[in-house]
Chains A and B, each alone.
Chain A
Amino acid sequence: MKIELNSEDELDAYIICHKCHTLNREVLIENGSKALCCSQCGIVLYHHDNGFLDRGLALSISGLIFFIIANVFPLVQINILGSESFISILSMIDSLIASGYYLVGLFIIYLIFIFPLMIFLLYFFIFYLMKRGTREILVGNLLILLARIIPWHMSDIFLISILVAIVKLLGIADIHLGVSFWALIIFVLIDIYFTRNIHLRELWMLRKQVYQLSEEEAPHVLG
Chain B
Amino acid sequence: MYSVESDELISCPVCEAVNIDKRQNNICRRCGSKIYHHRSTPTEKSWAYLLTAMIFYVPANLYPMMIIEQFGSESGSTILEGVIELWNHGDYPIALIILVASIFVPIAKFIMLAYLLISVRNPLNNNTKINKHKVYYFTELIGPWSMVDVFVVGILAGLVHLSSVKIVAGAASTAFALTVFFTLLAAHAFDTKLIRGSR
Contact = CB atoms under 8 A, between A and B. Distances in A.
Interface in B157-199: 157-165, 168-169, 173-174, 177-178, 181, 184, 188, 192, 195, 198-199
A91 B159 CA distance: 9
B6 A18 contact: no
A71 to B, nearest CB: 14
B9 A11 contact: yes
Interface stretch (A1-9, A57-65, A212-220): A1-9
Interface string B1-13: 1111110011100
B84 interface: no
Nearest to A160: B148
B148 A161 contact: yes
B160 A80 contact: yes
Interface residues of B, number: 63
B86 interface: yes
A165 B155 contact: yes
Given A80-B164, A101-B174, A160-B97, A147 B158 contact: no
A9 B178 CA distance: 41
Interface residues of A, number: 69
B20 interface: yes
A164 B152 contact: yes
Contact of B16 (A16, A78, A152, A171): A16
Contacts of A164: 94, 97-98, 148, 152
A18 B11 contact: yes
A104 B148 contact: no
B142 to A, nearest CB: 11
A15 B16 CA distance: 8
Residue in B147, B164, B198 with the greatest tally of chain A CB atoms within 10 Å: B147
B55 to A, nearest CB: 16
Interface of B: 1-6, 9-11, 14-20, 29-31, 33, 86, 89, 91, 94, 97-98, 131, 133-134, 137, 140, 144-145, 147-148, 150-152, 154-165, 168-169, 173-174, 177-178, 181, 184, 188, 192, 195, 198-199
